[in-house]
A and B are shown apart, each in its own frame.
Chain A
Amino acid sequence: MTIDTSAAPSELRHPGSPAARFGSLDWNWLGVVPFLAFAFLFLIGPVLYLVAGAFQNAEGQFTFANIVALGSPNIVASFSLTIRLSLLSAFMGALAGLLLGQAVILGGLPVWVRGAFTTFSGVASNFAGVPLAFAFIATLGRLGLVTVLLKDLFGINLYASGFNLFSFLGVSLVYLYFQLPLMFLIIAPALDGLRAEWREAAEILGATRRQYWRMVGLPVLLPTILGCFLLLFANAFGTLATVYALMGSGFDVVPIVLFQQIRGNVLYNPNLGYALALGMVVIMGVSNTAYLILRNRAERWQK
């Protein structure tokens, strides 16, 4: 961490600068106005417009009808599908990332292994979207290389045995390709923060490896793991391009429903679209905020 010493002393050192003479607070505040104006116009404004629209009917009068309409069966089904998919993919990502982190960072493997995984994870966590879907279709699609190899070499017919890339499980497997590296990257500092002294102390007191993890390691890591889980959840919840390229427009996760609604008003109610957008922002906002709170809590142990 670099300590920020730049701001305050500069103000003290030259009180006669132009900034101070004009009545320092007002003048200085103006310097941030272009950024705030841009953010308000192109980030906050559009979202507020949708939020306001979610509480209006077609004539512009205030109503809760759109929020109530979120309870209609097809929308509930769509939210439920998205939440289940995000939960499963976040769970898989968090578990696999934790195991990989534990193995690579604490498992006594050579240092270069960790370096290689870190570098690769930086790339893979950003390798989402349409190309990722293509890669998995070429690998595990009906004519994908692994599918064909398994059939030709080992006589295992993946698709006959119930596997399908273009399914709920298939999508979460594809998501794992960016969730696992993301988890690995964000859990690594916490694993580094597990002090060797704690483990030694536990061993001297006669704890087994399992007892150490159950009573020291995991409780210390728990806020971090939960926080990362929520971040992965939000990450999966907002994913559109990957799942759209894989499943097409018929797979009713919330982002795709909203996408279709913007394209062609498939819900036959523009204001219901606003409510859907509001629902997405609320879920993303809650999970991201909880992530930040848990991260602050976890940092207690890392000082």
Chain B
Amino acid sequence: MKQRFPLVPLLTALFAASFFIVPLIATFYFSLKMTRGELGFAAYASVFRSADFLQTISYSTIASLVAIAVGAVIIVPTAYWVRLKVPKLRPVVEFISLLPLIVPPVVLVFGYIRLFGSNSWLPLTASTSGTDVLLVIGYVVLSMPYMFRAVDNGMAAIDISTLTEAAESLGASRLRTIALVIFPNVRAAIISGAFLTFSISLGEFVLASLLNRPAFGPYLVQLGQDRAYEPAALAIMSFAFTWGCMALMQLFATRKPGQRWLPRAAQRITP
């Protein structure tokens, strides 16, 4: 084909880029206008001075971190065991791990409220700590598709059967093998899944709101109804936060044990 100047592609790309960037610029500019007649970071200062902000963001941070830890403890041994011993069950486990993409969060939490309500067999929603547990479990479930895929990809990159044999012939128990050999080797994969989990659950609204927990998501919605400039500031911060999580996720996802900072393309050559 003749090489023409790519005018139409260029215009398309420019149009798409402006659709992506204009809202960010506009939001940023809007967030600077809190003090009348001048540009400044007053909205950001106001956000950070707010006690509610600090409380809800710490609550959500803790809930997300616990969810990441619980998720790793459930998923890493399972992914390991399925790869090593019961590959027949792999489709089942994979299917279950993808189910949260089909079940919307609002349906999931509806089921929780009914199944674990105050007069059920396991009344988790009857107490504050029980509801906290349920929220964390909900985040574990919501992040399962991403966590499982990240960990499973991580396991594909290392030779788990040889590592297991080596550990066993040195006398390690099953648990010790998982904790001291497999875990460290898929650490980068876990961390990569963890950042995605973190970016999903930190500002999560539906579960936190319906379980009535003082999390960041419900606080954001409330703030959006009460204020004008602070929400814009928070939107910018949250975009930066998402960007940071994705960047770190990419960084850890492409990194393999032993070959520290090598780009992925170089390793793909050998299947």
Chain A residues with CB under 8 Å of chain B are 1-4, 6-11, 13-14, 17, 19, 28-29, 31-32, 34-36, 38-39, 42-47, 49-50, 53, 96, 99-100, 102-104, 106-109, 113, 117, 119-120, 122-124, 126-127, 129-140, 143-146, 176-177, 180-181, 199, 203, 209, 234, 237-238, 240-241, 244-245, 248, 255, 258-259, 262-263, 273, 277, 280-281, 284-285, 288
Report yes or no: A131 in contact with B238, Cβ–Cβ below 8 A: yes
A-B contact pairs, 8 of them (CB 8 A): A10-B161, A47-B103, A99-B12, A108-B3, A109-B13, A126-B196, A133-B224, A145-B30
Q: When chains A and B are docked, how far (Å) is the Cα of A106 from the Cα of B8?
A: 12
Q: When chains A and B are docked, how far (Å) is the Cα of A43 from the Cα of B225?
A: 33
Tell yes or no: B168 within 8 A of A by CB: yes
Report yes or no: A7 in contact with B85, Cβ–Cβ below 8 A: yes
Select one of B161, B168, B209, B232 contacting A135, CB under 8 A. B232
Select one of B12, B86, B104, B110 contacting A103, CB under 8 A. B12
Q: When chains A and B are docked, how far (Å) is the Cα of A100 from the Cα of B20?
A: 12
Report yes or no: A43 in contact with B108, Cβ–Cβ below 8 A: yes
Q: When chains A and B are docked, how far (Å) is the Cα of A280 from the Cα of B18?
A: 34
Chain A residue contacts of B84, Cβ below 8 A: 6-7, 10
Report yes or no: A131 in contact with B234, Cβ–Cβ below 8 A: yes
Tell yes or no: B200 within 8 A of A by CB: yes
Proximity bits, B19-41, A CB within 8 Å = 1, else 0: 11011111101110000000000
Q: When chains A and B are docked, how far (Å) is the Cα of A10 from the Cα of B86?
A: 11
Q: When chains A and B are docked, how far (Å) is the Cα of A46 from the Cα of B107?
A: 9
* Distance of B112 from chain A, by nearest CB (Å): 6
Q: When chains A and B are docked, how far (Å) is the Cα of A11 from the Cα of B236?
A: 52
With A1-B271, A42-B141, A130-B221 known as contacts, the answer to whether A100 contacts B114 (CB < 8 A) is no
Q: Tell me what chain A mostly uses at the interface: helix, strand, loop, or mixed.
A: helix
Tell yes or no: B89 within 8 A of A by CB: yes
Q: When chains A and B are docked, how far (Å) is the Cα of A209 from the Cα of B9?
A: 15
* Distance of A137 from chain B, by nearest CB (Å): 7
Q: Tell me what chain B mostly uses at the interface: helix, strand, loop, or mixed.
A: helix
Nearest residue (CB) in A for B219 is A130
Proximity bits, B209-240, A CB within 8 Å = 1, else 0: 11000000100110011001001101110110
Report yes or no: A263 in contact with B210, Cβ–Cβ below 8 A: yes
Q: When chains A and B are docked, how far (Å) is the Cα of A4 from the Cα of B79?
A: 13
Chain A residue contacts of B114, Cβ below 8 A: 46, 49-50, 53
Q: When chains A and B are docked, how far (Å) is the Cα of A63 from the Cα of B107?
A: 21
Report yes or no: A145 in contact with B242, Cβ–Cβ below 8 A: no
With A35-B93, A39-B96, A42-B141 known as contacts, the answer to whether A14 contacts B165 (CB < 8 A) is yes
Q: When chains A and B are docked, how far (Å) is the Cα of A28 from the Cα of B75?
A: 16
Select one of A11, A36, A180, A241 contacting B16, CB under 8 A. A180
Nearest residue (CB) in A for B99 is A43
With A2-B156, A258-B110 known as contacts, the answer to whether A146 contacts B26 (CB < 8 A) is yes
Chain A residue contacts of B220, Cβ below 8 A: 130-131, 134, 245
Report yes or no: B85 in contact with A138, Cβ–Cβ below 8 A: no
Chain B residue contacts of A255, Cβ below 8 A: 104, 106
Q: When chains A and B are docked, how far (Å) is the Cα of A11 from the Cα of B9?
A: 54
Q: When chains A and B are docked, how far (Å) is the Cα of A124 from the Cα of B235?
A: 13
Q: When chains A and B are docked, how far (Å) is the Cα of A49 from the Cα of B100?
A: 16
Q: Pick from B10, B30, B115, B156 the residue with the most CB of A within 10 Å.
A: B30
Q: When chains A and B are docked, how far (Å) is the Cα of A277 from the Cα of B115?
A: 14
Tell yes or no: B184 within 8 A of A by CB: no
With A107-B6, A131-B238, A137-B231 known as contacts, the answer to whether A240 contacts B27 (CB < 8 A) is no
Q: When chains A and B are docked, how far (Å) is the Cα of A284 from the Cα of B20?
A: 27
Nearest residue (CB) in B for A133 is B224
Nearest residue (CB) in A for B161 is A10
Q: Pick from A102, A144, A262 the residue with the most CB of B within 10 Å.
A: A262
Report yes or no: B13 in contact with A240, Cβ–Cβ below 8 A: no
* Distance of B121 from chain A, by nearest CB (Å): 11
Tell yes or no: B78 within 8 A of A by CB: yes
Tell yes or no: B58 within 8 A of A by CB: no
Report yes or no: A244 in contact with B99, Cβ–Cβ below 8 A: no
